[in-house]
Structure 1
Amino acid sequence: MKYPLIVHTDPGMDGFSAELPDFAGCFTAGATVEELASNAQEAVELWFDGEEDKAVPAPSSLDVVLASEEARGGVVIVVDVDLSFLDKKAVPVNITMPVYVRNTIDRAAKARGLTRSAFIVESALHAAGREARR
Structure 2
Amino acid sequence: MKFAVVLHKDDDSDYGVTVPDVPGCFSAGRSVSHALDNVLEALALHFEGLVADGEPLPQALEVDVHVDNPDYAGGIWAVVEFDVTPYLGKAVRFNATLPENLLQRIDEKVKRDHRYASRSGFLASAALRELAVAQ
In 2: Cα distance, 1:9 partner to 1:38 partner: 16
Partner of 1:40: 39
CA shift for structure 1 position 87: 4.3
Secondary structure of the corresponding residue to residue 76 of structure 1: strand
Aligned CA RMSD, in angstroms, stands at 1.8
Q: Deviations over 1:52-102 (max 9, x none)?
A: 0322222122212111112201111111112133145269xxxxxxxxxxx
Residue identity over aligned pairs, in percent, reads: 32
Count of residue pairs the alignment pairs up: 90
Partner of 2:71: 70
Answering whether residue 80 of structure 2 is matched by residue 79 of structure 1, we say: yes
Task: Pick closer, same or farther for the CA change 1:33–1:26 going to 2, 3 Å.
Answer: same
Residues 6 and 70 in structure 1, CA contact (< 8 A), matched pair in contact too: no
Structure 1 regions of 5+ residues with no counterpart?
92-134
Partner of 1:12: 12
In 1: Cα distance, 2:26 partner to 2:85 partner: 20
Structure 2 regions of 5+ residues with no counterpart?
93-135
After TM superposition, which residue ranges in structure 1, 4 or more long, deviate above 3 angstroms?
Answer: none
CA shift for structure 1 position 51: 3.0
Structure 1 or 2: larger helix share? 2
In 2: Cα distance, 1:50 partner to 1:73 partner: 30
CA shift for structure 1 position 22: 0.5
TM-score when scaled to structure 1?
0.59
Secondary structure of the corresponding residue to residue 66 of structure 1: coil
Please show how residues 1-134 of structure 1 align to structure 2 within 5 Å. Answer: 1-13=1-13, 15-52=14-51, 53-89=54-90
In 2: Cα distance, 1:50 partner to 1:61 partner: 24
| Bigger Rg, structure 1 or 2 | 1
Residues 15 and 32 in structure 2, CA contact (< 8 A), matched pair in contact too: yes
In 2: Cα distance, 1:45 partner to 1:54 partner: 14
